[in-house]
Structure 1
Amino acid sequence: MITIYQKTVSEAEIKKIETLKNGSLLIVEDPKEEEISFLEKELSLEDKNLSDALDPYEVPRIESEDNIVYLFVRVPKQEKENIRTMPALIAIGGKYIAVISKEKISAFDKLMNGKIPFATTQKTRLTITLLSEITRNYRKLLTNITKQVRSVSTKIENIDNKAILAFVAQEEILNDFLAALIPMNVSLERLLNGRMITLYDEDKELTEDLVLDINQLIALSKATLKTIVNIREAYSTIITNNLNRVIKLLTSLTVILAVPTMIASFYGMNVNLPFADKPYAFAGILAVVTGVTALLLIVFGKKKWL
């Protein structure tokens, strides 16, 4: 589906238009073959780049061809508890900006609802605004993940299998974010040289701020990943330590119970044994068993095995 918008600096609201005009914004979602043909003919977009924009495994990058800048990004998308990134292409031509994606980009909802001021006729500023909205969504999701991780880190000893599985999912999300943000940052740094699109002083400052924001998101993602790894290692250490304590306890009890069991077994045999005919034999055996057991309890107690 292709939707064409236009909004000048003097206009208060964005409007949909039927035909392509100078300074238009095209939002292309899951384009059909005839729509792809329209983009190729009317906008002179390369077929390969359009195919790449719909490829779910496409990586962020920037390239320029025939005076058209192709900026590939990955946009965060949340579906209930599932968080992932999806590819999108921002094509910056001489008279338009086109955003092509396989699915609807919810990150641009505030923009399309008029909650964020912009003008489709200011291509460079609009490109920065689109990237800022993508970055804002990354920050929102990253902040939620970081809060969840920190809330678990305060009660490591009570972590269960559900929390471990959540950590695995969060690690996958964070790695996906890093794989999108790092090359996106490189693309923005290439934009700063002003060779691909013209940057005015204010645009350059906004782009530099955007680069700093993305660098912060990258650092936050790495820090959260490190926290998850530290929590898992700490949890593993605690589990191993608890297991060792249980093994020591069971070993101590086995040794302590083995001594009286062995002595009692000897005197349970139907053969002649020392002191078997003495009246104080039972008391003596009981005393020896008690003494050995007490000695073992003291030894294992000092070693903190009990």
Structure 2
Amino acid sequence: MLTPIEINNNFEWVDVQDETAAEHRRLIQSYKLTEEMYGYATDPSERARIEFDKEAGISLMIFNVITDLPDDSPEAATAPIGFLFKGKRVYTFTSGTTNYVHNLVINSNSALKLPPIEQQQPIDAILGLMYKLTTTYLDKINRIDRRRAEIQRSLKTNPEHSAINELMDLETSLVYYLTALKTNTDMLKDLQRTPVVPVNADQKEHITDILVESQQGLEMAQMASDVVERVSNAYSNLIDNSLNNTMKFLTAYSIIMTVPTIVSGFFGENVALPFEHNPYGWQITILIMIALGTVVYLILRHYRFFDR
């Protein structure tokens, strides 16, 4: 879908979502975008960065955002979107799980002190959007940290094997956030040094504000990832220790239960054995089993085989 929206006299915003082949041709032929820049803006594997095409008069920014997916989704938690500047137009390229960005542009206000809408330049709108997208990382990371704390508390009272899967999901999401925030931070540093379009002092300050938020998110994600990893390792050790204790317990009692089998095996042979003709032979055999089993138990107990 290709939706041109006139924001003010300074620029027009063109929202590009899941474009068709016909819309692709329209962007190239009518809007005079280049195939190279279009390919960069729509590549789902593109890293966050800035790009220039002086000959075509096109500037491009790739920015990683959180995808609109449930927290437990097996799909990627982040994806790149493209901001493309050409003349008095700014283009945003989103698809699938990143199409929610459209609503942020239209309906939300940024915490940045931007000029009134009628005075905004293309870079103002994009900086405001980038600030909002960056702060969503902080909310997600805080939510993950709260869930990690809940799991950690529950493990102390009621360890469950399902918890390791949930911790793994949290750790996976944090890896995506860490990677996305790191590349976003690098891109913002490049943007400080070489803006994609001319910027004034206020706009430079806004870039710095976004960079600060991105670095804060990066530090939070790193700390949360470290904590989740340590909790996951501790829980894995707890499971291993529990399994070792169980196997130790079963081994000890299998040794004890082997004694009656050996004794009864001897007295089950068709050969002359003690107490064979004794009227109390069966009871004596049982007493021998119990006595030998008790001796084996005391030996194992002496070597602390039953301690956990």
Q: Distance in 1 between matches of 2:249 and 2:163?
A: 29
Go from structure 1 to structure 2 and tell me whether the alpha carbon gap of 1:302 and 1:217 turns closer, same or farther (over 3 Å shift). farther
Counterparts of 1:109-124 in structure 2, within 5 Å, are 109-113=103-107, 115-116=109-110, 119=117, 121-124=120-123
**295 and 128 in structure 1: CA distance in 2 versus 1, 3 angstrom threshold:** same
Contact 1:108/1:133, CA 8 A, preserved across alignment: no
C-alpha deviation, 1:197, in angstroms: 3.1
Give RMSD over aligned pairs.
3.1
Q: Which residue of 2 aligns with 1:293?
A: 293
Contact 1:181 1:214 in 2 (8 A): yes
Equivalent in the alignment of 1:86: 79
Aligned counterparts of 1:85 and 1:253: Cα–Cα separation in 2: 52
When normalised by structure 1's length, the TM-score is 0.80
1:73 equivalent in alignment to 2:63:
yes
Identity among equivalent positions (%) equals: 22
After superposition, where does 1:39-188 map in structure 2 within 5 Å?
39-41=27-29, 43-66=31-54, 67-81=57-71, 82=73, 84-103=77-96, 105-113=99-107, 115-116=109-110, 119=117, 121-156=120-155, 158-160=158-160, 162-188=162-188
CA-to-partner distance for each residue in 1:73-113, whole Å, 9 max, x for gaps?
Answer: 23222234536333321012342322122346323524412
Instruction: Name the TM-score, length of structure 2 as normaliser.
Output: 0.80
Contact 1:30–1:101 at 8 Å: present in 2 too?
A: yes
After superposition, give the CA deviation of every residue in 1:43-102 in whole Å (9 maximum; x if it has no partner). 543212212322322222211112432001232222345363333210123423221223
CA change 1:36–1:282 in 2 (3 A) is closer
- Please list, as runs of the form range in 1=range in 2, the aligned pairs for 1:186-265 lying within 5 A after superposition: 186-265=186-265
Cα pair distance change 1:108/1:28, threshold 3 Å: closer
CA offset at residue 182 of structure 1?
Answer: 1.7
Q: Distance in 1 between matches of 2:50 and 2:270?
A: 92
Deviations, residues 222-267 of structure 1 (Å, cap 9, x unaligned): 3333333333322322222222212222221122222233233323
The secondary structure found in structure 2 opposite 1:240 is helix
Show the counterpart of 1:26.
14
Distance 2:238 2:264 in 1: 39
Deviates more, 1:119-128 or 1:146-155: 119-128
Cα gap change, 1:77 to 1:195, in 2 (>3 Å): closer
Amino acid at match of 1:107: V
Q: 1:78 & 1:195 partners in 2: Cα distance?
A: 29
In structure 2, relative to structure 1, the CA distance for the partners of 1:33 and 1:294 (3 Å cut) is closer
Unmatched 5+ residue regions in structure 1? Answer: 9-20
Distance 1:31 1:261, change over 3 A: closer
Aligned length: 294
Aligned to 1:16: none
Q: 1:284 to 1:32 in 2, by over 3 A?
A: closer
- Secondary structure of 1:156's partner? helix
Residue of structure 2 equivalent to 1:18: none
d(CA) in 1 for partners of 2:256, 2:161:
35
How far apart in 2 are the matches of 1:139 and 1:145?
10
Task: Report the CA distance shift for 1:30/1:107 in structure 2 as closer, same or farther (over 3 A).
Answer: closer
Q: Is the 8 A contact 2:164 2:236 kept in 1?
A: no
Q: Which amino acid aligns with 2:223?
A: A
Distance 1:261 1:36 in 2: 81
Give the letter for the 2:99 counterpart: I
Deviation at 1:194, TM superposition (A): 4.0
Structure 1 position 278, deviation (Å): 6.5
Give the CA deviation at 1:132.
0.8
